[in-house]
Structure 1
Amino acid sequence: MTQTKYWNRVSSEPDLDVGIANAMSKASSVALGIALGDPGRPVLCLDSDGSLLMNFGSLATIAGMAPKNLYHFVFNNGIYAVTGGQPVPAPGVDYARAAEACGYRSAHRFDDIESLDTALPGILSNPGPVMIEIIVKGEPSTEGVDQTWESNARLPLQLRALRTRLTGSDDWGPGGPYI
């Protein structure tokens, strides 16, 4: 997803970051798994409206599991940015209200950076799951999606490295991993 390219430029712990571009629509589900697996660490999910629309049921699943450490950011730009800028099929969805209706502890919607900047420290000091929807300008990616066998192989390796970093162990027990 487009926003992960920007996050990678400012992240202080890139070995804890997992880009989900090749698993479009699964950022929220992967973030839920990470949040449940390490409940003592805040988990920031950088999602998009197009991605979340393809996995809308994850809102109810996240709310039902209620991870206190999950902060779900949705960048609402009205387009599928990584695939050429096609409009999303439901551009008027209010994701913050949808998250609230599903049972998120709190949900917030911002359309200007100043309000977000002011409110964010307070939002992040409260338990999750929290939805932070940010209305942004739609900018189609000019880089395209890195969709190769090599790029598809990176995601499970990233997840394995993250699991090892968080647990201190590479022991997956019987039956796994298959990578």
Structure 2
Amino acid sequence: MTLRRDDALKSLIPHVNDEDIVVAVYQSCFDWLALNPRDLNYVGVGAMGQASSHALGLALANPERRIFVFDGDGSLLMNLGSLVTIANAGVTNFYHFLFANRVYEVNGAHPLPGADKIDFAAMAGASGYAGTRSFDDSVAFCDGLPDLLATPGPQMTVLEIVPGAAYPRDYDYIHSSAARQRFREALNRR
């Protein structure tokens, strides 16, 4: 495995435009906020497993914007039913990136149940996602991004990752009303 989470996020930065919404959770959120602070970064915390559901609501309400979900594998396991709901909602602006390290990283790196057996891409495909891909190599991921983002969603991209550089876990910011107000104002600024 040669794909670091921070390298994957850095590869995504040039593809996220000023109108795109990013819904990131847990360690991917902390890393993304450090690497690419922006007003349309949605931080939904305290609701493990809800990233895909929150993103679906944003996708339905904002069909002219692309929605990027930076989800964790442990988080998605808490809400697998969202895959079917997303697939059947017909959201073509939905790009789901699953950062799979096979542990509950921010909660002590405890292993996921069935970590060596779970095939998230297959689950998304069986749920009806328009497309699924998996990467464990940074070069292949970078090369595949333009085609992936030119394809209507919902798209699931499973990234088999290792942690990468350590970024600060700014819990004060992600729990703040200022973070939500900043997002709300950016969302309504058109």
The interval holding the TM-score normalised by the smaller chain is 0.7 to 0.9
Q: Please name the residue that 1:111 is paired with.
A: 136
2:81 matches 1:81: no
Aligned positions of 1:22-171 closer than 5 A: 22-91=46-115, 92-137=117-162, 146=171, 152=175, 154=177, 158-159=179-180, 161-168=182-189
Amino acid at match of 1:47: D
- 2:183 maps to a residue whose letter is L
* CA distance in structure 2 between the aligned counterparts of 1:85 and 1:74, rounded to whole angstroms: 17
Q: Which has the greater radius of gyration?
A: 1
Cα separation, partners in 2 of 1:29 and 1:160, compared to 1, 3 Å? farther
C-alpha deviation, 1:137, in angstroms: 2.1
**Whole-Å Cα distance in 1 between the matches of residues 128 and 51 of structure 2?**
19
- Name the CA distance, whole Å, in 2 between partners of 1:63 and 1:86: 30
> What's the CA shift string for 1:68-106, capped at 9, x where partnerless?
101000001010011110111121211111101100000
Give the 3 Å change call, closer, same or farther, for CA 144–86 of structure 1 in structure 2: farther
The alignment partner of 2:46 has SS state of helix
**TM-score in terms of structure 1 length:** 0.80
Q: 1:64 to 1:159 in 2, by over 3 A?
A: farther
In structure 2, the gaps of 5 or more residues are 1-25
**1:7 aligned to which of 8, 24, 32:** 32
Give the RMSD, CA atoms, in angstroms.
2.4
2:13 equivalent in structure 1: none
For 1:66 and 1:163, locate their aligned partners in 2 and report how far apart those are by CA, in whole Å: 25
Post-superposition CA distance 1:5-46 (Å, at most 9, x none) = 11112326x210012342211110011111111010111000
Structure 1, gaps ≥5 residues long: 170-179
User: Is contact 2:96–2:157 with CA below 8 Å preserved after alignment?
Assistant: yes
Using the aligned pairs only, state the percent identity: 36
Going from structure 1 to structure 2, the CA distance change for 1:56 and 1:135 (only over 3 Å counts) comes to: same
Amino acid at match of 2:153: G
